[in-house]
């Protein structure tokens, strides 16, 4: 929760999954973060597999955007350079811009 | 053994690589059969030096097509795909064509046989014979496609079998350049005496060395002061085989898309000598 937010969606080394109802957090590794290409869709696949409904990130590339749309996952932008906790607080307060 | 395949590379665009390839090909074709292959498939320009009707054939690559009625959305194909070209949703599957590398992995792992492969065009190969002993083959990648090595392979294939083949390599030092240089007997590195040119020359020389292809240098648009280039070449053990001076007349023909060796026949002899030196360097050692 105290880790800084990675602003490039597909390059995030870890994904922090937060259950907004129960507040539980799980951290999963993103095996595709260092891959040469297609990191966007691969990261989206990971989110789909974990039943994620919305994502907070800095920016999403074109393929990641179409993948998120296809999967029906909302994307919100956070680029203030803070931690996961900061981003979550703004998300809960409804203060983040919606990307998709 | 005769040197049969020469790759002309430069590390970077705009150094006159295609000029050297075109004039060398033309000059050698005065005496023997030569095939010129333009492997710069993203921006082929060798054909601009020649005039002739050309025939065209498509280059295709297998692309997966998924039958969603047979698919159980198990996700194995997406897990297999290293390029993120597949996204398996709860009861749908998305395919990102521009990310697919045609590796065939998804059809291999699919347990229900829902993946079938279809051939789709990714580019073309142009072929013409601008002079009696010269064939010109150009690989042309379709806009937005990533399969450049597939098109380069197709262009190289179309050139075979032939006694002497000259490949005009793409700029840079990435996969397409490696694909071009790989089975060459010699690599001709074209450079200009500018700091940028020298850096790119060193990079391209490193690729040739790694592939164990003997290399030599052509200095293009030389202003006569090549001390720095010579120093770089001797440091990397690269013989300087030819110097093309900066010359207004050459530049003017160049701008009109003409071969200067046509207008200055003495250059045909110089390019033939260049080939003899390549033979001496690479041919003798094999
Ligand atoms: S592996 Fe085959 S069955 Fe499984 S999701 Fe992919 S296409 Fe469908
Ligand atoms: S052929 Fe290879 S790259 Fe293309 S979708 Fe299938 S697994 Fe991915």
User: For residue B16, with 0-12 CB atoms within 10 Å meaning exposed, 13-18 middle and 19 or more buried, which class applies?
Assistant: buried
The upper half-sphere exposure of residue B100, i.e. CA atoms within 13 Å in the direction of its Cβ, equals 24
Distance B170 CA to ligand 2 centre (A): 26
pLDDT tens-digit readout, A12-68:
899 999 998 898 999 999 987 877 778 999 999 999 999 999 999 999 988 999 999
Q: Which among B84, B90, B93, B98 is the top mutation candidate for probing chain A, defined by the most A β-carbons within 10 Å of its own β-carbon?
A: B84
The answer to whether the CB of B243 falls within 8 A of the CB of B219 is yes
Element (H, E) at A75: strand A74-77
Nearest CA to ligand 2 atom 2: B103
* Residues 60-89, chain B, touching A (beta carbon < 8 A): 75, 78, 81-89
Distance B112 CA to ligand 1 centre (A): 7
pLDDT score, position B1: 52
Nearest CA to ligand 2 atom 4: B100
The answer to whether the CB of B12 falls within 8 A of the CB of B191 is no
Instruction: Tell me the chain B residues in contact with residue A65 when contact means C-beta distances shorter than 8 Å.
Output: none
Q: How many CB atoms lie within 10 A of CB A99?
A: 17
> pLDDT (tens digit, 0 to 9) for every residue of chain B, 286 residues total?
577 899 999 877 778 889 999 999 999 999 999 999 999 999 999 999 998 788 999 999 999 999 999 999 999 999 999 999 999 999 999 999 989 999 999 999 999 999 999 999 999 999 999 999 999 999 999 998 889 999 999 999 999 988 899 999 998 778 888 889 988 999 999 998 777 778 888 888 988 999 999 999 999 988 888 888 888 888 888 999 999 988 888 888 888 888 999 999 999 999 999 999 999 888 764 4
Q: How far is residue B138 CA from its own chain's centroid? A: 9
Nearest to B52 by CA among B133, B140, B152, B136: B136
- The string over B53-88, giving b where at least 16 C-beta atoms fall within 10 Å of a residue's C-beta and e elsewhere, is ebeeeebbbebbebeeeebeeebbbbbebbbbbbbb
The answer to whether the CB of B212 falls within 8 A of the CB of B178 is no
Among the partner residues B84, B88, B98, nearest to A32 by beta-carbon distance: B84
- Inter-CA distances, A79 with A18, B141, B223, Å: 19, 38, 51
Nearest CA to ligand 1 atom 4: B74
pTM: 0.82
- How would you classify residue B27: left for phi > 0, otherwise alpha for psi between -120 and 50, otherwise beta? alpha
CA–CA separation, B253 and B270 (whole Å): 18
- Quick check: A42 and B98 CB within 8 A? no
């Amino acid at each position: 929760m105290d880790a800084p937010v990675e602003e490039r969606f597909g390059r995030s080394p870890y994904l922090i999954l937060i259950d907004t109802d129960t507040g539980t957090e799980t951290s999963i590794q993103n095996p595709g973060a260092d891959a040469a290409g297609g990191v966007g869709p691969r990261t989206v696949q990971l989110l789909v597999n974990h039943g994620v409904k919305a994502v907070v990130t800095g920016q999403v590339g074109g393929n990641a955007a179409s993948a998120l749309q296809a999967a029906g996952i909302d994307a919100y932008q956070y680029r203030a350079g803070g931690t996961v906790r900061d981003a979550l607080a703004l998300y809960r307060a409804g203060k983040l811009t919606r990307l998709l | 053994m005769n040197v049969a395949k020469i790759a002309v590379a430069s590390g970077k665009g705009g150094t006159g690589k295609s000029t050297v390839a075109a004039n060398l090909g033309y000059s050698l074709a005065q005496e023997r059969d030569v095939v010129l292959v333009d492997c710069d498939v993203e921006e082929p320009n060798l054909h601009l030096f020649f005039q002739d009707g050309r025939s065209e054939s498509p280059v295709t690559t297998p692309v997966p097509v998924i039958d969603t009625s047979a698919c159980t959305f198990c996700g194995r194909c997406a897990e297999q795909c290293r390029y993120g070209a597949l996204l398996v949703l709860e009861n749908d599957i998305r395919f990102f064509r521009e990310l697919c590398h045609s590796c065939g992995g998804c059809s291999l792992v699919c347990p229900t046989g829902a993946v079938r492969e279809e051939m789709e065009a990714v580019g073309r190969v142009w072929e013409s014979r601008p002079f009696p002993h010269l064939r010109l083959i150009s690989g042309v990648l379709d806009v937005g496609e990533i399969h450049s090595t597939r098109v380069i392979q197709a262009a190289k294939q179309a050139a075979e079998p032939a006694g002497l083949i000259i490949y005009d390599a793409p700029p840079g030092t990435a996969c397409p350049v490696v694909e071009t240089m790989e089975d060459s007997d010699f690599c001709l590195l074209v450079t200009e005496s500018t700091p940028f040119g020298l850096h790119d020359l060193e990079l391209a020389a490193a690729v040739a060395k790694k592939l164990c292809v003997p290399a030599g240098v052509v200095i293009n648009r030389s202003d006569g002061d090549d001390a720095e280039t010579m120093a770089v070449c001797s440091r990397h053990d690269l013989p300087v085989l030819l110097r093309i001076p900066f010359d207004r007349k050459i530049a003017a023909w160049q701008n009109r898309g003409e071969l200067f060796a046509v207008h200055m026949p003495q250059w045909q002899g110089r390019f033939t000598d260049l080939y003899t030196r390549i033979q001496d360097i690479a041919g003798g050692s094999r």
